[in-house]
Amino acid sequence: MDMDDPHEWLTRRAAARQLHEDLGLHPETARRLLVAGLLGRPRATSLASFHRRDAVDAFVAAQLARQPLPQPDRNLVLVRVGNGRVRLGATEQHQLDRLADGWRMSGTWRALCRAVVAAGGPPPGLLITLSGFVVSGAEILGAEWAGREGLPRGDPAGSPLLTRFQLRPPGPWFDDWHGRLLPSKRGGAALRVWPLHARPPWERPPRERQAGRRSLG
């Protein structure tokens, strides 16, 4: 694509404004999605970062189409991250390393993740969401306790929920999820589990959601 053609490119500010006007996204949310690379890799200059106009238009069209979410073919783990956890330009392995640590999951769910892989089933999928949009993904090959032993009771570093994942890049299944908006609400756990053949977390009745929240910390 010709960088000299101004009609083919949008500055990051202009792209964020279009996402705000066409989809109602908060300008800061739009900026975060662009920085995370959800709409593709920008062209950076000394003055600004530029995004492809056709990529912005395609993203807007896909969101307005409101296609139903895919039917999962595996257990899914949905995690919410803040700005900066997913970095555009990081190598694939560096990105996976950044996403492997810092989660809270019960020992029961960790055991389930390991058991599925040991039995030859499809590895659980990890969907990384930023402002509700799936910006990255991986497959979970292992889940281990990441706390420290021998600490005083109540020390956060010894929590039984601290979890580290062993990750690998996602397979073709992830293509259907990338860029999709998952229903969510403010607050709540940063990690939610969507077991295969179960209703998604946002469709569970309040009592079931509360039980799941206790198990995940």
pLDDT in the model for residue 183: 84
pLDDT in the model for residue 214: 39
Express each pLDDT in 7-26 by its tens digit: 689 999 999 999 999 999 99
pLDDT bracket for residue 82 (50, 70, 90): confident
Residues 90, 97: Cα–Cα separation, whole Å: 10
Whether the per-residue pLDDT at 213 is higher than 70: the answer is no
pLDDT in the model for residue 207: 53
Express each pLDDT in 116-159 by its tens digit: 999 999 999 999 998 899 999 999 999 999 988 888 888 888 89
pLDDT in the model for residue 170: 95
- The stretch 179-194 carries a mean pLDDT of 82
The one-letter code for the residue type at 120 is G
Tokens for 119? 């039995």
User: What's the distance, Cα to Cα, between the start and end of the chain in Å?
Assistant: 48
Sheet-wide strand order for 125-130: 103-104, 162-168, 133-145, 125-130, 76-80, 191-194
pLDDT bracket for residue 187 (50, 70, 90): low
pLDDT in the model for residue 216: 37
- The stretch 206-215 carries a mean pLDDT of 47
pLDDT in the model for residue 86: 77
Q: What is the mean pLDDT of the chain?
A: 86
pLDDT bracket for residue 215 (50, 70, 90): very low
For residue 32, how many other CB atoms are within 10 A of its CB? 21
Residues 13, 149: Cα–Cα separation, whole Å: 48
Express each pLDDT in 94-122 by its tens digit: 888 889 998 999 999 999 999 999 999 99
- The stretch 62-79 carries a mean pLDDT of 92
The one-letter code for the residue type at 105 is M
pTM score of the predicted model? 0.82
Whole-number percent of the chain with pLDDT over 70: 88
- The stretch 51-62 carries a mean pLDDT of 94
Backbone phi and psi for residue 179, each to the nearest 5 degrees, phi listed first: 85, -5
- The stretch 72-80 carries a mean pLDDT of 95
